[in-house]
Amino acid sequence: MTTFENKNLEEIAFRRIRIGYGIALLVTGLLIFLLFGLNTRAGLDSTFGMNLSSSQAIIIPDLVIPAQATVYALAMVIAFLGAYQMARGIRSIGLLIGALAFAFVFAFLIWASQGNSFNMVGMLNSSIVRATPIALAALCGVISERSGVVNIGIEGIMLIAAQTAVVSASMAGNLYVGLVVAILTGGLLAAAHAFLVIRFKVDQIVSGVAINIFGIGITSFISSRFLEKTLTNLNNAGTFPIVPIPILSQIPIIGPALFENNIVVYLMMVVVIVMHVVLFYTPWGLRTRAVGEHPKAADTLGINVYFTRYVNVIVGGMIAGLGGAYFTIGAVGRFDEGMTAGKGFIGLAAMIFGNWNPLGAFFSSMIFGFADSLQVKLQILSVPIPSAFLLMAPYIVTMIVLTGVIGRSTPPAADGVPYEK
């Protein structure tokens, strides 16, 4: 195929993408107008709170905007972007998707809060908190799959770690003991998974499913047989307190959202940064990525493929264990059956959406955390949407993300492939 023909194919592909996204933007603008613009009453304002009552941050004025006029303006802007996209084309697909999502969500929030007040800072803080277990599950998947091992047993690991955290913390009377035990539990379960799939070449999906089934079964049995009947004192550990970070917590908007949380949320942020640095700026990260992309070539260079995979899978399990601790000693203080509610699987979706990158996984988790937090806020605002549909919001977002991303994200080349030396 000649260079001229290649250029023609690229132009045809770009034209199709340009027209496709242009139509999507035009349709979104029309939907904003029909769904929110026509259903927003004239003369009403939407108030977005910029402060938290319990926060130490500097007080700033709330954002008050005319509801109907703003929704119409958003619809016009998106329609204009759609027309421009079809005529000229914007090569930054990420910018287009971001503009489309922002306009639709912001219009929805304006419609939902017309005549009421909606605390945006509280929403942001809640999104970060609810994204914490999803982000930790996603980071577990990132570090495991970057070394070439698929671990879909994250849900089971988190569930068992959540139970061991609350039981050990209740027995010791110390939340930090529960945190350490949860992390070690995650590492132990991940080590079992690594031993099966690396040493005995067991199918990685089957091993992960087995961990999930075991996790659901054993935690349900212990909970119903002991924690809810005879040993209720072992299911009441309490939760970590919120610890504001001096000076940083006083920054408006960002302070209450990021720097007024408990230790589990702070540890999640630290893990995101450390993992990104380790994966992309250290020799160990280079070896990990090499093992995940081309283990045979890595082996010829003297890298121990088996050892590298073992370490990364176990570290990933410890991160998932930290995510399990969030559900009990980081959030509610007790264990309930099935309390992870699919967050491990949503974390895998966030990992794919983030393209196996720690920062990408974190920001993807924020999308799911936002959807989870939004359904709670909308119930408080008494939005005329059935509560069952609101509860489905995080899972609907998961399906939408996977539908649009699978086939576009590129996993490590040796992901899920057992290595034969």
Which residues make Cβ contacts (< 8 Å) with residue 349, sequence separation at least 6? 364, 368, 398, 401, 402
Locus of tokens 């954002």: 63
pLDDT tens, residue by residue, 17-31: 778 888 888 998 999
Kindly state the average pLDDT of the residues 201-210. 96
Distances, alpha carbon 271 to alpha carbons 264, 315, 352, in Å? 10, 11, 18
CB-CB contact of 134 with 365 (8 Å): yes
pLDDT tens, residue by residue, 158-182: 999 999 999 999 999 999 999 999 9
Kindly state the average pLDDT of the residues 396-408. 63
Nearest to 141 by CA among 312, 338, 335: 312
Q: Is the pLDDT score of 391 beyond 80?
A: no
Nearest to 22 by CA among 72, 74, 73, 93: 93
CA 263-269-270 angle, 5° bins:
85
- Say how far apart CA 315 and CA 143 lie, in whole Å: 8
- pLDDT mean across residues, the chain: 90
Domains of the chain by residue range: 3-115, 121-405
- Say how far apart CA 241 and CA 333 lie, in whole Å: 11
Q: Is the pLDDT score of 385 beyond 80?
A: no
Nearest to 372 by CA among 391, 356, 399, 348: 391
Question: What are the structure tokens assigned to 6, written together?
Answer: 């290649």
pTM of the model: 0.91
Residue 37 pLDDT: 92
- Say how far apart CA 134 and CA 366 lie, in whole Å: 8
Locus of tokens 């139970």: 163
Q: Is the pLDDT score of 412 beyond 60?
A: yes
Locus of tokens 């590492």: 187
Nearest to 362 by CA among 271, 272, 266: 272
Q: Is the pLDDT score of 150 beyond 70?
A: yes
Q: What's the pLDDT band for 137 if we cut at 50, 70, 90?
A: very high
CB-CB contact of 415 with 145 (8 Å): yes
Q: Is the pLDDT score of 405 beyond 60?
A: no
Q: What's the pLDDT band for 99 if we cut at 50, 70, 90?
A: confident
CA 406-412-418 angle, 5° bins:
115
Q: What's the pLDDT band for 326 if we cut at 50, 70, 90?
A: very high
Using CA of residue 348, residue 313, residue 263, residue 257, what is the dihedral sign?
Answer: negative
pLDDT tens, residue by residue, 31-45: 999 999 999 988 899
CATH of domain 121-405: 1.10.3470.10
Q: Is the pLDDT score of 308 beyond 80?
A: yes
Q: Is 254 exposed, middle or buried (0-12, 13-18, 19+ CB in 10 A)?
A: middle
Q: Is the pLDDT score of 291 beyond 60?
A: yes
